[in-house]
Amino acid sequence: MVPAGRGRIINRASVAGLVGDGGGPAYVASKHGVVGLTRQLAVRAASQGVTVNAICAGPIQTGLRKLNVLGADAPRHARRRR
């Protein structure tokens, strides 16, 4: 990308990485890491024509939620509604 003078990097993060809520400590910490990495890369790569962004999705109903992987401390809106 740098030799071409243009490019796009899109990382997958989570709203949990922005607000510090939405899952267990390990999940939130890992998503904060993705957000921080994205911001740092964006600053460093901008002058070389490369943009770096993160998609920060909110709660999504998946099989992991059915297994209660998030734990009891997951916010109510992140758990399956009955």
Residue positions annotated with a catalytic role: 27
CA nearest neighbour of 55 among 19, 9, 2 = 9
Element (H, E) at 52: strand 50-55
Provide the β-strand partners of residue 53: 10
The single residue listed with the structure tokens 């910490």 is 29
